[in-house]
Amino acid sequence: MIHYKSKAEIELMRESSLLVSEALALVAAAIKPGVTTMQLDKIAEEFIRDNKATASFKGYHGFPFTCCISVNDAVVHGFPNEDELKNGDLISVDVGVFKNGFHGDSAYTFAIGEISDELKQLMRVTKDSLYKGIEKAVHGNRVGDIAYAIQDYTERQHGYGVVRDLVGHGLGRSLHEEPQVPNFGKRGTGAKLKEGMTIAIEPMINLGAKDVFHDEDGWTIRTADGKPAAHYEHDICVQKGKADILSSFTSIEAAEKANTNLCSDY
């Protein structure tokens, strides 16, 4: 069943979502060659704890960390580890926060140093596809309208692979609620979008083919062809006319721009 949120509940969710955004901004400021993804995980973990919240992912079905950090051919659900990041790496960071009874869940992809135009386009198109999906997340539309908008832009217009095995989702008192929000599908199909629905929209887009596999760690999802992937995620509340975006990339983008180790001109 779909849980519709009251105005008061939406404000609590906004607080959780914005806390995730601030955590991602702190991570953005710390990314540089030589830093490990485990160090980035600790930064997010401390920030969440200092804000009297808990990390949604830690312990979720046994996931052992605060962040999912997925580098290069890892699409999502990557384990933070002791490997040092280097120039040219594409790093997707996904963070969830639980506070006041509600989850926030947002993700952003960063690149270190100079990257190819091909990778820049992958980042730009994936981020833009998120907003194209959000444009369709209005009262009266259907989940398939969001799905179609993302797939049309990334797959049909740019030739990228849209991951089929993982999808966006309803969000609230649980990290994953109904409905599922795929990044592929047909217009006019699926659950009807109604005012007060809160969903996480999260295109996972591969530079190459759509196929992925589970790494031997049991969690990390990697592209089958070894090519890189990008992932951006916002939490939104369905409204009449225009979705209310509960998370924010503003401070993340500012940190990305201010960090000279990161590529921000994509």
Q: Which stretch binds Mg ion (CB under 5 A): 126-134, 150-158, 181-189, 229-237?
A: 229-237
CB of 139 to Mg ion, least distance (A): 22
The correct pick among 29, 85, 107, 193 for binding Mg ion (CB under 5 A) is: 107
Q: Which stretch binds Mg ion (CB under 5 A): 30-38, 81-89, 92-100, 215-223?
A: 92-100
Q: Which is nearer to Mg ion, 47 or 261 (CB)?
A: 47
Q: Which is nearer to Mg ion, 123 or 261 (CB)?
A: 123
The correct pick among 45, 105, 145, 235 for binding Mg ion (CB under 5 A) is: 105
Q: Which is nearer to Mg ion, 99 or 261 (CB)?
A: 99
Q: Which is nearer to Mg ion, 169 or 261 (CB)?
A: 169
Residue keyed to tokens 């005012």: 195
- Residue 58 Cα distances to 63, 161, 216, angstroms: 6, 29, 19
CB of 45 to Mg ion, least distance (A): 16
23 binds Mg ion (CB under 5 A): no
Site for Mg ion in 168-227 (CB under 5 A): 200
Q: Which stretch binds Mg ion (CB under 5 A): 105-113, 154-162, 211-219, 246-254?
A: 105-113
76 binds Mg ion (CB under 5 A): no
DSSP string, the chain: ---BPPHHHHHHHHHHHHHHHHHHHHHHHH--TT-BHHHHHHHHHHHHHHTT-EESSTTGGG--SSEEEEETTEEE-PPP-SPBP-TT-EEEEEEEEEETTEEEEEEEEEEBS---HHHHHHHHHHHHHHHHHHHT-BTT-BHHHHHHHHHIIIIITT-PEEPSS--EEE-SSSSSEEEEE-SS--TT-SSBP-TTBEEEE--EEESS-S-EEE-TTSS-EEETT---EEE-BEEEE-BSSS-EE-S-SHHHHHHHHH-TTB----
Q: How many residues bind Mg ion (CB under 5 A)?
A: 5
Q: Are residues 228 and 90 in contact, defined by beta-carbon separation less than 8 angstroms?
A: yes
Q: Which stretch binds Mg ion (CB under 5 A): 13-21, 29-37, 113-121, 230-238?
A: 230-238
CB of 169 to Mg ion, least distance (A): 6
Q: Which is nearer to Mg ion, 9 or 94 (CB)?
A: 94
The correct pick among 94, 155, 177, 235 for binding Mg ion (CB under 5 A) is: 94
Q: In the complex, which residues of this chain contact Mg ion (CB under 5 A)?
A: 94, 105, 107, 200, 233
